């Protein structure tokens, strides 16, 4: 939940990469995207499936500020230059430097977060963004009908809206779900992923609000035949998997459909992308967690081990009623079996909606009495969520946050002095 940023501290873990976590070599042409390599052969489990078990946190993607959409400074490139990568690495070293040894009074955190090591040992860390299709690295526009629903949507993030009931909050605010496929992308905190396998199944445990138990079928045709009936939906959808060589393919349908415009919470959906997914918040590629989801929404994920410590996760999302074309992401899961999961007990004692409703109703009463100015989209600080709020250090200092410019050169007044003598 976005009001519980203090939980971020609980997810810190030291990355222990004994060998480079090879993912995908950066090509000479930075504007090309080679296919995911399949030359690495993982170990097999006793029943024959490839062994993907382990802990694969994607916390470094969040902390390293590799964004969902491609920053415009990168143009048409899928990969950063050496200079841009060095800026990312310098920022990561600065981040690690914040983890100083604890003082006698207990202030400080011993060790390092290992972010610089992750950048140095993860080839994918040279990617310009998570989104690889469309080729411009930007999410496709919404359809007209989806845009209309987005504009009518309600959530805890929309500027100018009051809180009168739970229907004014999205599913993440209410600790129900952070959405799918949003749950598969880095958030502000709690970015652990743990994989378990048993004969015929793979289970993907997400540190924040989600566990996926996925049956593995003998073929794509068998998986398609096993789809749930259309009327049956789940927050994480109906996922079915099959092997294509060394790649595990997972198709997910039957995701809870709906929108954020209805006041009936039984007919609300979660946004396919979430504010904390690090995508650029704009009003043309909507923010605010109010993007609708139709009953045609589906994902296809491809998990490929490219080395003993790396899984490349590709996901293609399609919903023809909402997005004008499908979009695809590619990111690296890097093994860190020392990463600790902490209980995300969000719903228990979730007093935030109640408190916000009480405060909002009191504010509305003051406005009605003429004691306070009405809240509008223009004077609400939530309007900042319509703008990008993450910054990739690879593109240079954030405007207004860089080092001060050098002072102007001193004027040479020697000529005037000589004239006066």
| pLDDT attached to residue 98 | 79
Token reading at 242: 């099959």
| pLDDT attached to residue 412 | 54
Token reading at 159: 């500027």
15 inside domain: no
Please check the confidence at residue 205 and state whether its pLDDT lies above 70: yes
CB 389: neighbour CB atoms within 10 A? 13
Stated as kind and residue range, the H or E segment containing 220 is: helix 220-225
Q: Which of 24-38, 71-85, 199-213, 372-386 has the lowest mean pLDDT?
A: 372-386
Average pLDDT of the chain to the nearest whole number = 86
406 inside domain: no
The tens digit of pLDDT for each residue in 138-191 reads 999 999 999 999 999 999 888 888 999 988 999 988 889 989 999 999 988 899
Please check the confidence at residue 415 and state whether its pLDDT lies above 70: no
**Number of structural domains in the chain:** 1
Range of the domain at 173: 139-387
As a whole-number percent, the residues of the chain with pLDDT over 70 amount to: 84
Stated as kind and residue range, the H or E segment containing 249 is: strand 247-253
Q: Are 102 and 108 in contact (CB under 8 A)?
A: yes
In three-state secondary structure terms, 85 is helix
Q: 161-167 contacts: CB < 8 A, separation 24 or more?
A: 162/360, 162/361, 162/363, 162/364, 162/375, 163/353, 163/356, 163/357, 163/359, 163/360, 163/361, 164/357, 164/360, 164/361, 165/263, 165/357, 166/265, 166/353, 166/357, 167/262, 167/263, 167/264, 167/265, 167/268
| pLDDT attached to residue 163 | 92
The residue with greater pLDDT, 160 or 414, is 160
| Calpha distance 32→97 (Å, rounded) | 34
| pLDDT attached to residue 111 | 64
The tens digit of pLDDT for each residue in 338-367 reads 998 888 888 777 788 889 999 999 999 999
| Calpha distance 379→337 (Å, rounded) | 46
210 inside domain: yes
| pLDDT attached to residue 348 | 73
21 inside domain: no
Please check the confidence at residue 286 and state whether its pLDDT lies above 50: yes
5 inside domain: no
| pLDDT attached to residue 287 | 82
CB 325: neighbour CB atoms within 10 A? 11
Q: Find the DSSP H helices in 129-219.
A: 144-152
The rounded radius of gyration (Å) of the Cα atoms in the chain is 24
The tens digit of pLDDT for each residue in 66-96 reads 999 999 999 999 999 999 999 999 999 988 8
| pLDDT attached to residue 276 | 75
The residue with greater pLDDT, 338 or 20, is 338
Please check the confidence at residue 389 and state whether its pLDDT lies above 90: no
75 inside domain: no
Please check the confidence at residue 419 and state whether its pLDDT lies above 60: no
The DSSP code for 291 is -
The tens digit of pLDDT for each residue in 265-275 reads 889 999 999 87
331 inside domain: yes
Please check the confidence at residue 421 and state whether its pLDDT lies above 50: no
Please check the confidence at residue 285 and state whether its pLDDT lies above 70: no
Half-sphere exposure of 163 (CA within 13 A, CB side): 20
pLDDT band at 13 (very low <50, low <70, confident <90, very high): very low
Please check the confidence at residue 277 and state whether its pLDDT lies above 90: no
Cis peptide bond upstream of 57, omega within 30: no
375 inside domain: yes
């Amino acid at each position: 939940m976005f009001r519980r940023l203090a939980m971020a501290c609980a997810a810190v873990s030291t990355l222990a990469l004994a060998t480079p976590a090879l993912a995908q070599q950066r090509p000479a042409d930075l504007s090309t995207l080679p296919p995911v390599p399949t030359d690495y052969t993982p170990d097999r489990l006793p029943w024959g499936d490839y062994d993907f078990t382990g802990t694969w946190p994607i916390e470094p993607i969040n902390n390293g500020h590799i964004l969902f959409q491609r920053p415009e400074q990168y143009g048409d490139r899928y990969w950063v230059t050496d200079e841009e990568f060095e800026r990312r690495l310098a920022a990561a070293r600065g981040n690690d430097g914040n983890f100083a040894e604890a003082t006698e009074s207990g202030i400080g955190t011993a060790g390092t977060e290992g972010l610089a090591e992750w950048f140095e040992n993860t080839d994918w860390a040279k990617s310009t963004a998570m989104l690889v299709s469309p080729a411009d690295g930007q999410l496709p526009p919404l359809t007209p009908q989806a845009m209309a629903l987005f504009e009518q949507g309600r959530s805890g993030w929309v500027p100018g809206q009051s809180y009168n009931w739970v229907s004014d909050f999205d599913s993440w605010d209410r600790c129900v779900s952070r959405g799918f496929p949003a749950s598969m992308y880095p958030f502000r905190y709690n970015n652990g992923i743990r994989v378990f396998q048993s004969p015929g199944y793979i289970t993907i445990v997400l540190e924040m609000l989600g566990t996926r138990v996925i049956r593995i079928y003998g073929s794509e045709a068998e998986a398609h035949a096993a789809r749930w009936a259309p009327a049956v939906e789940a927050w994480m959808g109906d996922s079915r998997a099959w092997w294509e060589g060394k790649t595990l393919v997972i198709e997910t349908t039957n995701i809870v459909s709906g929108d954020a415009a209805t006041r009936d919470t039984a007919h609300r959906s979660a946004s396919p992308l979430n504010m904390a997914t690090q995508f650029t918040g704009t009003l043309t590629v909507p923010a605010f967690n109010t993007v609708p989801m139709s009953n045609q929404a589906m994902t296809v994920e491809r998990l490929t081990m490219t080395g003993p410590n790396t899984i490349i996760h590709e996901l293609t999302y399609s919903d023809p009623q909402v997005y004008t074309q499908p979009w695809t992401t590619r990111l690296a899961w890097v093994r860190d079996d020392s990463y600790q999961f902490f209980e995300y007990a969000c719903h228990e004692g979730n007093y935030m909606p109640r408190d916000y409703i009480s405060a909002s109703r009191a504010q509305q009463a003051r406005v009605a009495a003429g004691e306070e100015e009405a809240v509008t989209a223009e004077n609400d600080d939530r309007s900042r969520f319509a703008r990008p709020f993450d910054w990739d250090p690879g593109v240079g200092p954030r405007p207004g946050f860089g080092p001060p410019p050098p002072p102007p050169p001193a004027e040479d007044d020697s000529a005037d002095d000589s004239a006066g003598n």
